Amino acid sequence: MKIAIILDSLSRGGAERQAVYAVSELARQGRDVELIYYNQVTHRYDPALLPEERVHRLAKEGRKVRFVWELRNYLRDRRFGVVHGWMSGPGIYAGMAGPLGGIPVVFAGMRAEYKDRGLVRMAHRCVDRWVTGWIVNSKATVDSMVRDLGVRRDRIHVVYNGIDPDAFVSRFSPAEARQRLGLPADAPTVSIVGRLRPQKNHPLFIETAARVAKSVPAARFLVVGDGDGEEQAQLEAQAERLGIRGQVVFLGSRSDIPDILAATDVMCLTSHYEGVANSLLEAMCARLPVVSTAYAGVEELVIHERNGLVAPMGDASGLAAHLVRLLEDARLRLDLGQEGRRTVEARYTMEAMGRNLYGIYEKCYLAASGGGRREAAAS
């Protein structure tokens, strides 16, 4: 059973990272798997994460219809048995090219609460008629797809994100890591990691930072991630207006996330919506306490007062109160961070993600071989 995972690019986004992890883990488990992507980006993951023979670029370059046909030919000619469009856009292309190529099992994917509109939503509704099912990474995503897209619940499989807890251990001490970033060695430090896109709600982080700075004047705030346009300039202007421009450091896209985590006291997430937030998972790996907005599904990862703290959506005051509390209480930071690490080790391992993905692929492939492709029940 040959498996293809379709991805838009190898950019340093959380969903893209999970696709790379999935292919790496499936290959480690001895599966015949290939990652196919179609867009080039400036900042991408280290190619060493995957063997060259496991990765193939099929250029799209704006030719959407032609690309579907080329993808169909590639999948058919190499006799893939399972095709998985990892996220929203790749799911559309996989959902068209796979059936056209006669692939027995085709999955579309979604990596966050469903928010697509217009033509994209229409495309997803069409794809839902053609694919074997959907694979998502949270129960909240299932609820949103049933509610907003009309997908049958029994056609959606949940496979939680996987992560290697030991991959986020830095060789630097907190003081050394801060100094390497140009920060005072003893500066209380709050970070947010994620692309500068509306979903992540970075303006709320800047507003929250201004409130924290009033109580903890020595605090520094790291913004890790890049955008597609003027997002950083707008956030810099906001920080200037709020009088904290000197305390907010914009680091852009980074590959040294373990060292960023080493410099951090508390990880913050201000998103409007997520699936399972990779930035929180990575912080938990590093035994950092996390503070998050109460996006739909946050409770699948963060239990308030147990392994993190949660504030209502859009509540800068609540987020700031949690951050100040943690910055002033080293024991609480330690306790929440240790429990976060235990959460990752119990539920979000790479081995479990690979095993669960392959179990779904295999079950549906065997059902398709027996003529029951569209009716294979979700796990």
User: 30: domain CATH number?
Assistant: 3.40.50.2000
The pLDDT tens digits of the residues spanning 315-329 come to 999 999 999 999 999
Single-letter code of the amino acid located at 379:
S
Q: Look at residue 46 in the predicted model and tell me its pLDDT.
A: 63
Same domain, 50 and 151: yes
Q: Look at residue 48 in the predicted model and tell me its pLDDT.
A: 67
Q: Look at residue 49 in the predicted model and tell me its pLDDT.
A: 73
Which tokens sit at 45?
């993951």
Question: Which of 328, 332, 244, 342 is closest to 284 using CA atoms?
Answer: 342
Same domain, 203 and 301: yes
Please give the span between the terminal C-alpha atoms of the chain, in angstroms, as a whole number.
19
Same domain, 282 and 158: no
Q: Which residues contact 43 (CB under 8 A, 6 or more apart)?
A: 11, 12, 226, 253, 255
Same domain, 188 and 308: yes
Same domain, 151 and 22: yes
Into how many domains does the chain fold? 2
Same domain, 184 and 321: yes
Q: Look at residue 45 in the predicted model and tell me its pLDDT.
A: 62
Q: Quick one: how far is CA 170 from the chain centroid? A: 21
Same domain, 158 and 201: no
Q: Look at residue 173 in the predicted model and tell me its pLDDT.
A: 97
Domain extent for 139: 3-162+349-375
Where are any strands of DSSP class E within 75-234? 82-85, 105-110, 133-136, 156-158, 189-193, 220-224
Same domain, 106 and 250: no
Same domain, 63 and 183: no
pTM, full prediction:
0.84
pLDDT in tens, the chain (379 residues): 999 999 999 887 788 989 999 999 999 999 999 999 999 877 666 666 777 889 999 999 888 999 999 999 999 999 999 999 999 999 999 999 999 999 999 999 999 999 999 999 999 999 999 999 999 999 999 999 999 999 999 999 999 999 998 889 999 999 999 999 999 999 999 999 999 999 999 999 999 999 999 999 999 999 999 988 799 999 999 999 999 999 999 999 998 999 999 999 999 999 999 988 999 999 999 999 999 999 999 999 999 999 999 999 999 999 999 999 999 999 999 999 999 999 999 999 999 999 999 999 999 999 998 754 444 444 4
DSSP 279: H
